[in-house]
A and B are shown apart, each in its own frame.
Chain A
Amino acid sequence: MAIDGPDLTRQSAATLADAISSGEVSAEEVTRAHLDRIDSVDGAVHAFLHVDRDAALATARAVDAKRSSGAALGPLAGVPIAVKDVLTMAGLPTTCGSRVLEGWRPPYDSTVVERLRAADMVILGKTNMDEFAMGSSTEHSAYGPTRNPWDLERIPGGSGGGSAAALAAFEAPLAIGTDTGGSIRQPAAVTGTVGVKPTYGGVSRYGLVALASSLDQAGPCARSVGDSALLHATIAGHDPRDSTSIDAPVPDVVAAAALGDVRGMRIGLVRELSGEGYQSGVQQLFQRAVEILTNLGADVVEVGCPNFEYALAAYYLILPSEASSNLARFDGMRYGLRVGDDGQASVEDVMSLTREQGFGAEVKRRIMLGTYALSSGYYDAYYGQAQKVRTLIARDFANAFEKVDVLVSPTAPTTAFKIGEKVDDPIAMYLNDIATIPVNLAGNCAMSLPIGLALEDGLPVGLQIMAPALADDRLYRVGSALEQALVDAWGHLLIEEVPSL
């Protein structure tokens, strides 16, 4: 495939990989183009927390050398990528958007980063996020918010707003996100990009700084379904260092994306994920997308998932419980921030002062919630009940997947809201994830892809596709078919309509 136009930053990952592999452009040129783009726009967008210019260029040159030596290159060799700052990478800081980890440089690579390196991808740097992935707007980053390239006054979603914004601002063709309750999908929806939460255990969590271990999952962020599939295939697969990693072959997502055919597929509309609370433009575009799927030959029916109603409540018990324990280690004893160590203060004082100053308000709120929910005497009523709801939600999915191959819903109830609009209203913020949370609780997989711009505000809207565990390929099959139909209608991907910065 030939490079279409002069700007290397506006190409798909697949196109860049082909061009590098064929020698049409060098990986170094591609990397420089993206580093230049970051230099020119990231002051306004603030998608990145750390940019690793020298290492990125060194990797790019190594890829070029490998190519000139005649060695075969992998399908994404030389393609730049941005990594959410919650995955460890030796040589760069990992902050998780928190003061408490300021300056910490992990001595080891996460498995995801290791696989990116093994695939000869060029890691540009680490992207901004809500502190410890707690939030839906990236406003909770200790290092300042990321802005939505569609409207710099608006949020790019969260917690992975940095990764999504980097794609929408053409600072990187691919990015890694993590999704605990929607942190890949909701940012994808509000930035007009594609994001996939793989099946729990599909991508290793080793080196992913845990928010809620039983919910966290790393996944691909891209500007198209096809690019997402290539990245998905690169990072997925069993890892013996993660006990919860699935020891089974990865579904062939690349082939599924190439197939892009929904004829004869049964698609379920989740009754509970519609109606009240969903912005009208979101509902309109969702209905139109469903019509397109019907026209493409899918058999669309409505499906009830009655327990989804309790998902948000259960999620806000399970997540804080696990987080309160996972975040205990940030105590100032071994790494990161240490406050109050004046030679007199006790260990307890230093631990409390460090945690008081190191964590932001949202993190403290969830640590307190979780500590309470796990307390003896409350455990059964809170954590125990939430786990039962979790089982019921998994059962809802199982029942639904007996009738249909995939489920669809809007990804988020609204388009991107204004920075500052919901930051003081936790419940309003939590409601952003109402449609994405059930999948994390049940452990299956889901994708968000753009389906148009809402009539009332001209901002991107996402559609969520949900598939059973280990059927990630179905996401790509349906997503690719819908994306192709929309591209046929529009003449281009939705992201082409993003205003220039």
Chain B
Amino acid sequence: MTDDYMDFHEALTAFEPVLGLETHVELGTASKMFCSCPTAFGAPANTQVCAVCLGLPGSLPVVNGVAVESTIRMGLALHCDIASWCRFARKNYFYPDMPKDYQVSQYDEPLCTNGYLDVTVATDEGPRNFRVEIERVHMEEDTGKLTHAGGDTGRIHGADYSLVDYNRAGIPLIEIVTKPIVGTGSLAPVVARAYVTELRDLMRSLGVSDVRMEEGSLRCDVNVSLSPAGEPWGTRSETKNVNSLRSVERAVRSEIERQAAVLTEGGRVVQETRHFHEDTGRTTSGRSKEHAEDYRYFPEPDLVPVAPDGAWIERLRSELPEIPSVRRARMQTEWGISDFEMQALVNIDAVELVAGTVAAGVDPSAARKWWTGELARVANERGVDLASLPVTPATIHRIEELIASGALTDSLARRALEGVLAGEGDVDQVVSARGLTLVSDDSSLLAAIDTALAEQPDVAEKIRSGKVQAAGAIVGAVMKATKGQADAAKVRTLLFERLGVAE
């Protein structure tokens, strides 16, 4: 069965969306949530496991104190209340990616509750702010990773066999759940994206996670419902495991378009989980939630309650770093740019890249020029994030350094960057491999000038007679002869000296 879709803007004329986002992020702790196994990504399957994270009979969990601290810091940065006493719970269900057939999570006693996160999105009328209310922030352990071989669905049903890697089992996760987000209208997809972006930046600035999205360390469950204006909220769908910023935006958009079509045709939105497909940007039906699975939650008896000391919480609060929105405001002032210009940087996720480039010693306007110009264009062409280009703030700094010293002209600098983007190495390697050195040696330039003058005696005569605008033809010939690796201004000066003509 294929889904019908209604045009996005038409959908939003008829319906108002309500969003809810549940974001799971792997914390950047050195060890797992309940054992001392390492958490590094990419190790051979089942090499970072022990009796505890394999759930071997008799093993017992012990809470990772750093994970608790990270969660509290995240809660504080989100303006949450921190529970003075809370417990873990067991979520019971049978699945082979869970060594114990239950997941240790927090259920009705989350560590952090009732916060908010402010986000800004660009609109035609300029930047607009939304306050996203946070319901809860809690801790849990990740499951193992299943890989299904054979079959065509990529799921356990119909697979010939499945492999499980428990390296991921027990990795500490933080789950951030929003309250229903209302009133976003047609901005719903960008608000969703801006929220997840802001959350990511917040976690990075707190140092609780480096949020390696390409490794799947951030996964978002996107809840969307639609209802006609003024009516009670509609039935929601839950699109699971959306794991990039762009996909979050597309998933919201697609669900709005799909549900609007269903409702307009007089249908009923089914409460279900859906799967997002990167290739089509569409979602497909997963498991129905009409008969909700009973997880038989109960307090985890193997763990004692988490009871953070008030003084400790206050110390953590006082030690919180500058949060991204405050930092952005400060950067904007320091760089002397407008709201609009700042929002442009936010939109292409370039704030930290520019900040890093400035920190490396590059002038803010030059730093901005590189990232929003040439680099943004290439990222767009390649359909990737700016941050995943093989260019770093250090690259830009080196290029600017070479320009300032006169070793590179603007056009040589662009060719150097092109080489770096093509994966030819760092700036110095590209300059030397491509031979992008400026011909600055006067004698070789003079030789080239002499050759050009000899080849174009009429032009030489014109210049001598005071027609200085004719100099362009000689300078052009010299640039061509030096394959563009000469400084045109310098060639010009040398040419007039040679001919004894004043400029």
Name the residue among B54, B94, B99, B303 with the largest chain A CB count within 10 angstroms. Answer: B94
Whether A473 sits at the interface, judged by CB under 8 Å, is no
Known: A210-B302, A214-B301. A241 touches B101 (CB 8 A): no
- Given the complex of chains A and B, what is the CA–CA distance between A330 and B90 in angstroms? 16
Contact B58 A375, beta carbon cutoff 8 Å: no
Known: A96-B57, A213-B302. A325 touches B92 (CB 8 A): yes
Q: Which of A88, A243, A324, A376 is in CB contact (< 8 Å) with B58?
A: A88
B94: A residues at CB distance < 8 A? 328, 331, 348, 351
Q: Which of A209, A244, A328 is in CB contact (< 8 Å) with B100?
A: A328
Contact B90 A334, beta carbon cutoff 8 Å: no
Number of A-B contacts (CB under 8 A): 99
Interface stretch of the complex, out of A14-22, A101-109, A282-290, A404-412:
A101-109
Contact B298 A329, beta carbon cutoff 8 Å: no
Whether A240 sits at the interface, judged by CB under 8 Å, is yes
Q: How large is the interface on B (under 10, 10 to 19, 20 to 34, 35 or more residues)?
A: 20 to 34
Whether A383 sits at the interface, judged by CB under 8 Å, is yes
Whether B304 sits at the interface, judged by CB under 8 Å, is yes
Q: Which of B58, B99, B162 is in CB contact (< 8 Å) with A210?
A: B58
Whether B228 sits at the interface, judged by CB under 8 Å, is no
Min CB–CB distance B76 → chain A (angstroms): 25
Name the residue among B51, B58, B63, B294 with the largest chain A CB count within 10 angstroms. Answer: B58
What secondary structure prevails in chain B residues at the interface with A? loop
A101: B residues at CB distance < 8 A? 57
Please, which residue of chain A has its CB at the minimum distance from the CB of B51? A108
Please, which residue of chain B has its CB at the minimum distance from the CB of A371? B296
Contact B301 A243, beta carbon cutoff 8 Å: no
Residues 81-123 (chain A) with a chain B CB within 8 angstroms = 87-88, 94, 96, 101, 104, 106-108, 110
- Given the complex of chains A and B, what is the CA–CA distance between A206 and B35 in angstroms? 13
Contact with A along B286-315 (1 / 0, CB 8 A): 000000001011100111100000000000
Contact with A along B100-116 (1 / 0, CB 8 A): 11100000000000000
Min CB–CB distance B61 → chain A (angstroms): 7
Contact B58 A374, beta carbon cutoff 8 Å: no
Residues 60-92 (chain B) with a chain A CB within 8 angstroms = 60-63, 90, 92
Whether A379 sits at the interface, judged by CB under 8 Å, is yes
Whether B96 sits at the interface, judged by CB under 8 Å, is yes
Contact A335 B58, beta carbon cutoff 8 Å: no
Please, which residue of chain B has its CB at the minimum distance from the CB of A212? B301
Min CB–CB distance A130 → chain B (angstroms): 16
Please, which residue of chain A has its CB at the minimum distance from the CB of B56? A106
- Given the complex of chains A and B, what is the CA–CA distance between A347 and B96 in angstroms? 8
A383: B residues at CB distance < 8 A? 298
Q: Which of B56, B157, B301 is in CB contact (< 8 Å) with A107?
A: B56
- Given the complex of chains A and B, what is the CA–CA distance between A212 and B156 in angstroms? 32
Q: Which of B57, B63, B101, B296 is in CB contact (< 8 Å) with A374?
A: B296
Min CB–CB distance A85 → chain B (angstroms): 11
A328: B residues at CB distance < 8 A? 92, 94, 100-102
Contact A376 B296, beta carbon cutoff 8 Å: yes
- Given the complex of chains A and B, what is the CA–CA distance between A359 and B469 in angstroms? 98
- Given the complex of chains A and B, what is the CA–CA distance between A346 and B162 in angstroms? 11
Whether B59 sits at the interface, judged by CB under 8 Å, is yes
- Given the complex of chains A and B, what is the CA–CA distance between A213 and B162 in angstroms? 32
- Given the complex of chains A and B, what is the CA–CA distance between A110 and B55 in angstroms? 14
Known: A108-B51, A331-B94, A375-B294. A243 touches B304 (CB 8 A): yes
A376: B residues at CB distance < 8 A? 294, 296
Contact A374 B304, beta carbon cutoff 8 Å: no
Please, which residue of chain A has its CB at the minimum distance from the CB of B295? A376
- Given the complex of chains A and B, what is the CA–CA distance between A94 and B54 in angstroms? 17
Whether A208 sits at the interface, judged by CB under 8 Å, is yes
B157: A residues at CB distance < 8 A? 346
Whether A433 sits at the interface, judged by CB under 8 Å, is no
A331: B residues at CB distance < 8 A? 94, 96, 101
Contact A206 B296, beta carbon cutoff 8 Å: no
Contact A206 B63, beta carbon cutoff 8 Å: no
B102: A residues at CB distance < 8 A? 325, 328
Please, which residue of chain A has its CB at the minimum distance from the CB of B303? A243
Q: Which of B51, B296, B304 is in CB contact (< 8 Å) with A325?
A: B296
Whether A232 sits at the interface, judged by CB under 8 Å, is no
B92: A residues at CB distance < 8 A? 324-325, 328, 374
- Given the complex of chains A and B, what is the CA–CA distance between A214 and B300 in angstroms? 9
A483: B residues at CB distance < 8 A? none
- Given the complex of chains A and B, what is the CA–CA distance between A244 and B305 in angstroms? 10
Contact A325 B58, beta carbon cutoff 8 Å: no
Contact A241 B60, beta carbon cutoff 8 Å: yes
Please, which residue of chain A has its CB at the minimum distance from the CB of B57? A209
- Given the complex of chains A and B, what is the CA–CA distance between A101 and B58 in angstroms? 12
- Given the complex of chains A and B, what is the CA–CA distance between A92 and B261 in angstroms? 63
Whether A224 sits at the interface, judged by CB under 8 Å, is no
Min CB–CB distance A211 → chain B (angstroms): 11
Min CB–CB distance B49 → chain A (angstroms): 11
Contact A329 B100, beta carbon cutoff 8 Å: yes
A330: B residues at CB distance < 8 A? 57
Q: Which of A207, A346, A375 is in CB contact (< 8 Å) with B59?
A: A207
Contact with B along A193-233 (1 / 0, CB 8 A): 00000000000011111101110000000000000000000
Contact B96 A333, beta carbon cutoff 8 Å: yes
- Given the complex of chains A and B, what is the CA–CA distance between A110 and B302 in angstroms? 15
Given A325-B298, A328-B101, A331-B96, 4 more A-B residue pairs with CB atoms under 8 Å apart are A206-B58, A210-B302, A328-B102, A371-B296
Interface residues of A (CB under 8 A from B): 87-88, 94, 96, 101, 104, 106-108, 110, 205-210, 212-214, 240-244, 321-322, 324-325, 328-331, 333-335, 346-348, 351, 371, 374-376, 379, 383
The 25 listed contacts between A and B (C-beta, < 8 Å) are: A88-B57, A96-B57, A101-B57, A107-B51, A108-B56, A206-B59, A206-B60, A207-B58, A208-B58, A214-B301, A242-B62, A243-B61, A243-B63, A321-B298, A322-B301, A324-B296, A325-B296, A328-B94, A329-B99, A329-B101, A330-B57, A347-B96, A348-B94, A376-B294, A383-B298
5 tightest A-B contacts by CB?
A328-B101, A374-B296, A213-B301, A214-B301, A207-B58
